Chains A and B, each alone.
Chain A
Amino acid sequence: MEAHALLRREGFDVSSYGTGAHVKLPGPSLREPNVYEFGTPYKQMFDDLRRKDPELYKRNGLLPMLKRNSSVKLAPQRWQENAADGSFDVVFSFEERVFDMVVEDLHNREHALMKTVLVINLDVKDNHEEAAVGARLALDLCKELEAAESWDDTIDEIVPAFERQHRRKLLYSISFY
């Protein structure tokens, strides 16, 4: 969501999705996460958590995050159910596991449009600070891709250059809509 917010601010047409079965937020302990269905509005989660333990969730940054998220969009969405959202040019994932799921999901869709989509993975640790860094990086990469007339032709240069510049490893794949 961090990246979503940032990219949107930068004028990109962005959507964000989860790939899991549920939306899971940290709970009082590792074994007691807060689980919500996709589609549950952030506002509702916010209220729920605030009711449960405002101190805890304020401290661990969940409440601020949910508040920000609710300003970005209504509710979390699920990638596997986004067929109606149309085709994207680039898909970012911040964890290889997610990358795999996205790639596989795309492979399994019907490729009627014959429109290429670039799927990029940029490993980012799942915490507030790293998310901010990751969002920046994603933005940079998007800008570079945007700058290229057709990423299909230049991806072989963009990715290595990005890796060198930011000392980050990327992983990418190409699928179709």
Chain B
Amino acid sequence: MAATNPRSQAISLLVAAKNHNDLAVKLSSLRQARDILISSDPTVAAELIPYVADLQDSPDSLVRKTLAELIGDLGLMVGERICMLVPVLVAFLKDNSPDVVKQTIVSGSKLFRNSLEDIALQFLKFGKVERWLEELWLWMMKFKDAVCDTALGPCTVATKLLAVKFLETLILLFTPEANDCQAPSPLELKEGRVRDFNMSWVVRGHPILDLAMLTQVANNSLGLLLDLLQSSNVQKLPTSLIIVLINCLAAVAKKRPLHYSRVLPALLGFDSDTCKGGHSVSIQHSLKTSFLGFLKCTHPVVLSSRDRLLVALRAINAGDVADQVVRQVDRMVKYAERTARDLRFGKDELLAGDPIRKRPLAPDDGADTNNDDIPAKRTRLDLLSSPDQPSQLINDQLPDSGLINGTSGPASLLGSEMTPVQQMIAMIGALLAEGERGAESLEILISKIHPDLLADIVMANMKYLPKGPPPLSTRLANSQAASPWPPGLASDLIPSSGPASSSLNSPSLDACASPSLLSDSKRDPRRDLRRLDPRRISTPSGTQLASMKTEDVSDVQTGSNGSGSLSTPPTSPVVTIDEERAEPLVDRVEPGSLDGAIASPIGNITAKEKLEPIHEDLEVEPVSELPSSSDLTVSSLSTNNETHHPKLDETEVDDGKDASCLKESDENSSAVPTTPTCEEIPHELPELPPIVILTEEQQESLTKTAVSRIIEAYRQVRLTGSSHIRLALLARLVAQTDANDDIVGMLQKHIIEDYQHQKGHELVMHVLYHLHSVMISEEGTDFSFDDSVYEKFLLIVAKALRDSLPASDKSLSRLLGEVPLLPASALKLLENLCQPDASDHQGNELRNGDRVTQGLGAVWSLILGRPLVRQVCLDIALKCAVHSQDDVRAKAIRLVANKLYHLSYVSDNIEHFATNMLFSVVDGEPVADGKSTYLDPNEQRLQTEETSASGSQSSAPDILDCVEKVARNVPVVSLSQAQCCMSLFFALCTKKPSLLQLVFDIYGRAPKAVKQAAHRHIPILLRTLGPSYSELLHIISNPPPGSENLLMLVLQILTEEMTPSPDLIATVKHLYATKLKDAAVLIPLLSLLSKDEVLPIFPRLVDLPLEKFQIALARILQGSAHTGPALTPAEVIIALHGIDPEKDGIALKKITEACSACFEQRTVFTQNVLAKALKQMVEQTPLPLLFMRTVIQAIGTFPALVDFVMGILSRLVGKQIWRMPKLWVGFLKCASQTQPHSFRVLLQLPSPQLENALNRYPMLRPPLAGHANQPSIRTSLSRSVLQVLGLVREPQAPSPSLSQVSTHTPDAGSSVQSGSLDFLSTRCSQNGRALQDEEVSRKGLSGRPPPSESFNCSTLPFCAQAEAAGGERKREVWGRERRSPALDGRFLNPAEKFFSKTLFFMGTFSLSISISLVAHI
């Protein structure tokens, strides 16, 4: 009866709606009919559908619109009859009334979603789908296509907006939510209470819903939206549509990160200015809001595009807001992490029994005063499916910075913690809960999780590891065997805990537990493994945790399989059910009690979350209500609501429970027959301790054990090929323990142990990168992650590598090269490596040397590979390059000059530095030590030695320089300092010869030490430069003033070891010809010059200081291997004599000195040479000025030449020598000195000249007269000569002169010692003998007839006589010599003076001649 009434009523109303004339009546009738239909029994409604469908042809658009609305409202409640109505909707989409179309889209959307959910859920629930749903779905797809057409086709803006919105919904529906692919649990299915539909509900093998196809549809729809936004006629689109498009796309991107990568470029690329006609400000604002929304999203995909978003936001002047948001998000993330970490404590508080303090995580801002106002929306507890929570929270926080307002307080705060990790954990938990069916998906899911994320998941769970494994593993094993519930069921990854987390208990993730939970947990509680878990009874201890865990993991599969067989008929008493229900919750609250496994933080969070709102209207409900709902098929909403409370109560109660009653309660549990009320539970419910509170030490040791186990497990891990997970895991552990010393030490040991093989490097990198990312993400926030942790770890590892690996190992360098950030301390370490402390380098010099190489190698690779620290590293290298230790310096210089200098980006710096160093020593401020130094005595001595060592080259000015400086007490750069600072520069010169110019430039003003250093470096440099010295030639051709010495040195080196190139010769010649008139520059080249080239410059060479001339002379005579000497010694002598003092502007003295220098080289300028030269010169006209002098010298040097000289003298007589006054003086002198050999020559003189000669040398007269008086000679003499000699009557003055002389001698000095005379005579005799030998050997060569036999013979007897003559007479001779007026100088004319000086100069040799002469008499 009850059914007929509404049915007939509805029929009449529907008929009225169709046929009545008045529109108002029609509408009101239709609305009434709708009310009846909706409130009536579904079967009745279904029966009436044909009547409803009949209205579609109504001419009134309002009726049609209401009909469309009605269809949406009726939806699936009419069962398969809906299939009759959907075609109506499809048809309405083409309706000419916009209102009808709009309403149709709205209703259609609703129906679409409901159908999809129903189809998916039905298969989930029953494993099959009703036939009519298939048909419905076909219609829905048709509807979808029609809406797509609408979106593209011509219609009103309002319609289009809805069509676009529909597409958005479609995409959201058809795209699985990455972070929340949790299928609804059977519990929810039962209730019919489902949350947002998610594609992941659609399982594989669904008869109607083809996953691939749906994905395709979603992609196409998204493409449609994107096309709309990007189409060329976008400027024709109304602003409102553009805004909606942007908003919809943003929503899609945000809620389904899968599409983010497609949407973002479209939005970023959208130029709001293109819409000229529209309201571009608003469009831009929509974009801004979208981007900010993205920024608030913590999904990794979105996070990775943060920079692009920031750029885009800054471009539209929203940079500040963006930065603020970024900071907020970072803070939230961090806060979430922190909260997760602190969750334990929060729980403790919770357990402390303070019911008011049920939000232990709420920030203390007093803002949670209006908890009561929590919006209805927030009471939706399925946080997992509301990804928009975080942003909302931020939103709430923005206006009141710092204030976390009450409503969005802890609840949403916790919601915002739903990081990917937590969501993933939840997802895994859900899959596990599904048992067998979920296992497959779980496998796929885990295999696809990024290792890092997986590590995070494990890490997140590890926090709740109990301190130790259960001590009674045997007992456990037994139970395992006996129980249908393998302990492994509680896998590490089950967030919702122990064995009870079967498919039926898994909804524990959702606070709204349902009655189905009860029914499923009706198994024998004693079989619940948790009861058997020894840890619930006794304090955990021991070290078997690890093994337990392994078992657990391996058993996951079994466990989930086992959960499939849970269809035990409900037999247990209610109490058991209650307890069973309570337990999962308890577990969630305190994951520490998990069965040898890791509890999930998500469990905690959700539990808390869910507890919270429930607390608000906490009213104790008697548990007795529960049994009624323990039927699998019952799905009543009211029951659902009620179930919250008892559960909560139990949880609360459990929290506060004393652990001491555990065992007892365990036994009681199955025996309690009555239904306990909430209050009774604490006393009667057998409960196990929910919490194992670990002390600090326990936590620490647990952490340590865990880490060490992970570390030790490397072998197994390598075998399984999941070492990367291990690395990620360790990295996070280190970060989480704030690089606890013990752990780091352990890690360090492991890393070093076998750095190469155990992937130590990878591990270190993982750790460092993780630490760094943590550091970065916390930057600029209030949360202070200890920045030093990263640094500390890096330093520890670096030091360990340095100390334990051989210096040749490249690991340290690689480490520094690849770490995410190089703190200053690491660079300092590197610097110390490169510059070993002077104090400790004696002991292990060698080792340090290798270390330096290692350090520099690292520096090199850093400069190459890390632009950011390039400058610092370069500084290190450069500092080493001027290091005081030779070894360090040499290595660094090699690095800098050979490797770094050619790098374009540092070469300037290097050059600049080297130049500065150079200048610093030049200008007397040695930078190397940072202070100028005074020479200490040692240094000075050293320098003097240096000077003398290099003095042979060109250091005369250097000595002066040094002396001068020391005298002035000017700060002097020591040689070693100069070397330190200059080596680098010279090394650079080898790479860039043009730098040499600078050396030349500064040389002039450089202090002595610098010059010395330069002198030392230059040879090496030039040798290295090799033949490529075009730059050098340039410098040589234009030497800066002051650099002459250096130039000489350079030339000397250049010519020393190799034949200088013609270019060089030409350059130097040119230089000499143009700029530098100093002939010294030519000296090095002399050996290469030809005779014709040398002769013109010879006078200039003579003009040089004597030393230089000597060098030049050596060069000239030395010649080159190819051409032979430029000049022969004889030619040299002739050239010397060819110099005209006046014409060539050379002081006569210079020439005489040069001659003397020649004579000194007796081995070169032999008597033969001299003879040859004299012979040639005597033929010259006019005779060389110094000819006679040279003759005298020659005979002085080589007495054996006397006969030859007599030949020369007679030749001179022939040339009327008396006509050349200067030479005449010399001639006479020579004749006088060579008497008696010269008598014959003298007698050849015409009588006036003879007289002149005798007047000048009166003492010649007696011996000469004696000589002439010999009969054989006298006959050949002319009368006038005899007259002059007084042999023919005229003035008779024969022999008394001799006696006269003799009488005088005793007065004379007796200073001459007989010893020296003996010596001299001996030498004479030796000379004589040598001369004789020589003469004999060269007889054939001499063009002149050999000297007379008599002369030769007489020499030897002379020596013997001299020895026999006794001392007295010799002394007389000496005395006479000394008194000779010729030596007095007063009466001599200039020429005579000259000769006398020469004689004096010649010293002992001339003396011996006089002696011999006298002795002969």
| A contact set with B: CB distance below 8 Å | 19-22, 37-39, 78, 80-81, 83-84, 97, 100-101, 103-105, 107-116, 150, 152-153, 155-156, 159-160, 169-176
Contacts and interface: CB of A to CB of B under 8 A. Distances in A.
B247 A174 contact: yes
A37 B399 contact: no
B405 A21 contact: yes
B1215 interface: no
A111 B165 contact: yes
B681 interface: no
B158 A153 contact: yes
User: B98, B169, B250, B279: which has the most chain A beta carbons within 10 Å?
Assistant: B279
Chain B CB within 10 Å, residue with most, of A107, A109, A115: A107
Contacts of A156: 157, 238-240, 277-279
5 contacts: A21-B367, A101-B395, A105-B395, A107-B251, A171-B282
Interface in B187-211: 196
Contacts of B936: none
Contacts of A78: 373, 407
Contacts of B239: 155-156, 159
A22 B404 CA distance: 10
A173 B375 contact: no
B399 A19 contact: yes
Contacts of B370: 37-39
A81 B157 contact: no
Contacts of A37: 369-370, 373, 406
A116 B98 CA distance: 14
A7 to B, nearest CB: 22
Given A21-B400, A111-B169, 6 more contacts: A37-B370, A81-B375, A107-B293, A108-B388, A172-B279, A173-B282
Contacts of A101: 395, 398-399
Given A97-B399, A176-B165, A171 B281 contact: yes
Interface string B268-311: 00000000011101100110010011000000000000000000
Contacts of B1149: none
Contacts of A81: 373-375, 407
B106 interface: yes
A116 B367 contact: no
B285 A173 contact: yes
Nearest to B279: A159
A152 B157 contact: yes
Given A20-B400, A156-B238, A159-B279, A84 B376 contact: yes
B243 interface: yes
B156 interface: yes
A114 B109 contact: yes
Contacts of A115: 106
B105 interface: yes
Contacts of B244: 116, 174
A152 B240 contact: yes
B247 A21 contact: no
Nearest to A114: B106
B158 A116 contact: yes
B1111 interface: no
Contact of A169 (B158, B281, B286): B281
Nearest to B105: A114
A39 B105 contact: no
Contacts of A109: 377
A114 B158 contact: no
Interface in B153-197: 156-158, 161-162, 165-166, 169, 196
B240 A174 contact: yes
A31 to B, nearest CB: 14
A104 B109 CA distance: 23
B158 A108 contact: no
A121 B101 CA distance: 30
For the complex of A and B, the 3 pairs showing the least CB-CB separation, nearest first, are: A21-B405, A152-B158, A108-B388
B1118 interface: no
A20 B398 CA distance: 9
B281 A39 contact: no
Interface in B372-389: 373-377, 388
B247 A172 contact: no
B537 interface: no
B396 interface: yes
Q: Number of contact residues on B: which range applies?
A: 35 or more
Interface string B233-245: 0000011100110
Contacts of B396: 21, 80
A20 B404 CA distance: 10
B403 interface: yes
B281 to A, nearest CB: 6
Nearest to B388: A108
A78 B395 CA distance: 13
Contacts of B1238: none
A158 to B, nearest CB: 10
A107 B376 contact: no
Interface in B114-171: 156-158, 161-162, 165-166, 169
B392 interface: yes
Interface in B600-659: none
A14 B165 CA distance: 26
Contact of A173 (B162, B165, B286, B407): B286
Among the interface residues A105, A114, A169, A170, which one has the most CB atoms of the partner chain B within 10 A? A114
Nearest to B237: A156
B1048 to A, nearest CB: 83
A169 B407 CA distance: 33
Nearest to B160: A152
Contacts of A152: 156-158, 161, 240
A156 B279 CA distance: 7
Contacts of A22: 367, 400, 403, 405
A156 to B, nearest CB: 5
A75 to B, nearest CB: 11
Contacts of A108: 388, 391-392, 395
Contacts of B404: 21
B1186 to A, nearest CB: 111
Given A101-B399, A174-B161, A153 B376 contact: no
A104 B395 contact: yes
A113 B102 CA distance: 12
A97 B399 CA distance: 8
B407 A80 contact: yes
Given A20-B399, A116-B161, A171 B285 contact: yes
Given A84-B376, A97-B399, A107 B247 contact: yes
Nearest to A82: B375
Given A39-B370, A103-B289, A171-B281, A83 B158 contact: no
Contacts of A114: 105-106, 109-110, 162, 165-166, 169
B1062 to A, nearest CB: 85
A62 B1072 CA distance: 102
A104 B400 contact: no
B109 A80 contact: no
Nearest to B289: A103
B1132 to A, nearest CB: 104
Contacts of A155: 238-240
A116 B282 CA distance: 16
Contacts of A21: 367, 396, 399-400, 403-407
Interface in B402-431: 403-408
Nearest to B166: A114
A153 B395 contact: no
Which of B247, B250, B404 has the largest number of chain A CB atoms within 10 A? B247
Which residue, A100, A105, A108, has most C-beta atoms of chain B within 10 A?
Answer: A108
Contacts of B278: 156
A22 B289 CA distance: 24
B247 A150 contact: no
A172 B787 CA distance: 45
A81 B373 CA distance: 8
Interface string B1176-1218: 0000000000000000000000000000000000000000000
B391 A80 contact: no
